[in-house]
Amino acid sequence: MGSIVVVGSSNTDMVVKVPRMPRPGETVLGGTFFMAAGGKGANQAVAAARAGGAVTFVACVGADAFGEQAVQGFREDGIDTEYVFTVEEAPSGVALIMVDDGGENSIAVATGANARLRPHHIDQAAAAIASADVLLVQLETPLETVEAAVALAASHGTRVILNPAPARALDDEILQHVSVVTPNRSEAELLTGLTLDHPSRLDDIASALFARGVDVVLVTLGSDGCYVATSDRREQIPAFEVQAEDTTAAGDVFNGALAVALSEAMPLRDAARFASAAAAISVTRRGAQPSAPHREEILQML
């Protein structure tokens, strides 16, 4: 079993199903409302744990019912919560999500306690990061904290997966410590300044990221699968065909499962297919963490 440390956010998702996304100033009467555990970091930690990884999560939650429920959920999934810190000065993060009839979503996030995750918290988790097979990070927590985690992991030879979401510009100082970067289309465009207006542009995007120090580029393309590039191999891996119900957290499930596969030293192509299968299952279900499949389901899909 591979060991994985996830550094990132934890939110409670409040979800409304709508027939279509409202225009500015418009009210659309929705259908089902439900709440589910979410947050990119937490989603990825849960996805990795269910996919078979030994997961430690580093995060901040508020001293409130949402935070208590989140931590209890992590423990039920077998995640080590020693470094999930409770802070008094901010509430737990909350995300407001609309999902339309086509399964597409629109999300607004109140960051809350996630903004309180600081480099000194990374210092407290240093032993876990140093001994892990993989560190998995995203960008819903302060960038200085991500930088500290990535630098610490790199100094100890821990493989770093960066899911650059939500999209933002990044310095080469971060990217040169990253083993695998996993943007979607828009994130790849923002990272490189290139427009992904044709499949051939994927090679240009990969080359641009290699030049900034990344070892492996893996662009997630939704129903078009994923593009995987190394210094000597580039290919597009098709998606598994499913009927999408809710795409919320599909990328997070992909990254969590990818971390597990790479922690187990799967060949990159096999790891990408493992992650793609997990993501495909997730979009057939509602909610973020509730949609993450268990390992036996992923293997059955494969």
Question: How far lies 218's CA from each of 146, 182, 196, in Å?
Answer: 19, 5, 14
pLDDT at 199: 83
Angle, CA 222 vertex, CA 200 and CA 259 arms, to 5°: 100
pLDDT value for 151: 97
Rounded Cα distance between 60 and 57, Å, is 10
Q: Which two tokens stand for residue 294?
A: 């268990």
- Taking phi first (over 0 means left), then psi (-120 to 50 degrees means alpha), and beta for anything else, what does residue 102 get? alpha
Domain locations along the chain: 3-301
Q: Is the pLDDT of residue 248 over 80?
A: no
What number is the average pLDDT over the span 282-289?
Answer: 87
**Percentage of residues of the chain with pLDDT beyond 70:** 100
Distance, in Å, from the CA atom of 151 to the CA atom of 149, rounded to the nearest integer, reads 6
Give 188's pLDDT tier (boundaries 50, 70, 90).
very high
Measured in whole angstroms, the distance separating CA 233 from the mean position of its chain's CA atoms is 24
Chain Cα centroid distance, residue 121:
20
What is the per-residue pLDDT across 224-235, written as a single tens digit (0 to 9) for each? 999 999 989 999
How much is the pLDDT for 34?
A: 87
Q: Which pLDDT score, from 0 to 100, does residue 102 have?
A: 83
Q: Is the pTM of this model over 0.75?
A: yes
Residues tagged active-site:
252
Place of tokens 């990272």: 191
pLDDT in tens, 28-79: 987 889 898 999 999 999 999 999 999 999 999 999 999 999 999 999 999 9
Q: What is the pLDDT of residues 86-112, one digit of tens each?
A: 999 999 999 898 988 888 888 888 999
CA distances, 143 to each of 114, 138, 164, 169, 191 (Å): 11, 9, 11, 11, 15
The per-residue pLDDT for 198 is 84
pLDDT at 252 over 90: yes
| Average of per-residue pLDDT across 244-263 | 92
Q: Is the pLDDT of residue 3 over 80?
A: yes
> Quick one: average pLDDT of 215-239?
93
Share of the chain above pLDDT 90, in %: 81
Taking the C-alpha atoms of residue 154 and residue 74, their distance in angstroms, rounded to an integer, is: 26
Rounded distance between C-alpha atoms, residue 5 and residue 110, angstroms: 24
Strands 93-99 and 11-17: parallel
Can you give the pLDDT at residue 36?
A: 86
> What's the pLDDT score for residue 109?
86
The per-residue pLDDT for range 268-281, each reduced to its tens digit, is 999 999 999 999 99
Residue range 201-205: mean pLDDT, rounded = 94
Give the Cα separation of 165 and 9 in Å (integer).
11
**3-class secondary structure, 20:** coil
Query: Residue 243 pLDDT more than 90?
Result: no
Average pLDDT, the chain: 94
What class has domain 3-301? alpha beta
**Cα distances (angstroms) measured from residue 159 to each of 4, 193, 241:** 10, 26, 31
Q: What is residue 192's predicted lDDT score, i.e. its pLDDT?
A: 93
Strand partners, 218: 228
